[in-house]
Amino acid sequence: MPKNFVSNKDETVRMFENDFMEALSHVHPSVPVIIYLPVILYFIYKSFVMSKITVLNILMLIVIGIIVWTFTEYTLHRFIFHYKAKSAFGEKIHFIFHGVHHDYPSDSKRLVMPPSVSIPLAILFYFIFDSLLGKSYVAPFFVGFLTGYLFYDITHYAVHHFNIHNKFWLALKKHHMKHHYQNSELGFGVSSPVWDKIIGTDFPETKNEKNNLQMEEIN
């Protein structure tokens, strides 16, 4: 496959010879909602009914969990999904994890994280946070963390496949499309560009963008 090959069609490429493994790599966009919304509701129940901490603390921990997710998303995307492999095997693993998405960005069945990856990661993160925060605080924190993840998956599908008009969603779409079609070494935030701005991996504004922003401020 050519190094810079990019398909803009909603088409896919086979990654595994094994039919079962291949099937696992195709995910309907509703799957993360079906899996994680009940989990989020369960941890909300644990937070407000079974927890002994105040409502204010619960809400603060949810917000912190969302913020931690945005940084986790940025870190995973930048350092894991865009890891520079130095071997043929490493390049193959990279292609399976993320390279296929850059070659086939409109493949609607590979826009959300497959459960075979997201569930083990969620369990791993839960036990890490549980060991750091303890039983009383981990439930509301994990509500925020999983909510952030779910928003990320929904956002990723939306910016690739929805006809977006809302300014907020358009800004996210523009940011992510630049990552795909302008410079894949910048713009690692999908659900939020905040960490790109803080760390310095955001896209530089063009003159047209600056003029458009000035016109919006005047209007």
Share of the chain above pLDDT 70, in %: 91
pLDDT of the residue at 13: 86
pLDDT of residue 209: 54
Residue 199 lies in a domain: no
Annotate 190-205 with b (16+ C-beta within 10 A) or e (fewer).
Answer: bbbbebbeeeebbbee
Whether 150 contacts 33, CB under 8 Å: yes
Q: Residue 46 class from Cβ within 10 Å (0-12 exposed, 13-18 middle, 19+ buried)?
A: middle
Average pLDDT, stretch 78-96? 85
- Say how many domains are in the chain: 1
In a domain, 189, yes or no: no
Among 203, 163, 165, 199, CA closest to 181: 203
The answer to whether position 12 is within a domain reads no
pLDDT per residue as tens digits for the range 16-61:
889 888 888 899 999 999 999 999 999 999 999 988 899 999 999 9
Q: Confirm whether 146 is domain-assigned.
A: yes
Where does residue 166 rank: exposed (0-12), middle (13-18), buried (19+ CB within 10 A)? exposed
Does residue 112 register a pLDDT over 50? yes
In a domain, 127, yes or no: yes
Within a domain: 3: no
Owning domain of residue 93 = 19-164
Is 103 within the bounds of a domain?
yes
Please report which confidence band the pLDDT of residue 211 belongs to, taking 50, 70 and 90 as the band edges. Answer: very low
Statement: residue 207 has pLDDT above 80: no
**141-145, 196-200, 206-210: the lowest-pLDDT one:** 206-210
pTM over 0.85: yes
- The DSSP letter of residue 186 is S
Instruction: Please tell me the predicted confidence (pLDDT) of residue 216.
Output: 40
Q: Where are the beta strands (DSSP E) in the chain?
A: none
Residue 81, domain member (yes or no): yes
- Residue 158 is predicted with a pLDDT of 94
- Rounded CA gap, 160 and 61, in Å? 31
pLDDT confidence band for 184 (50 / 70 / 90) = very high
- In this prediction, residue 206 carries a pLDDT of 63
Q: Residue 217: is its pLDDT beyond 50? A: no
pLDDT of residue 215: 36
Q: What mean pLDDT, rounded, does the chain reach?
A: 89
Assess whether pLDDT exceeds 90 at residue 164.
Answer: no
State the Cα–Cα distance between residues 58 and 54, nearest whole angstrom.
Answer: 6
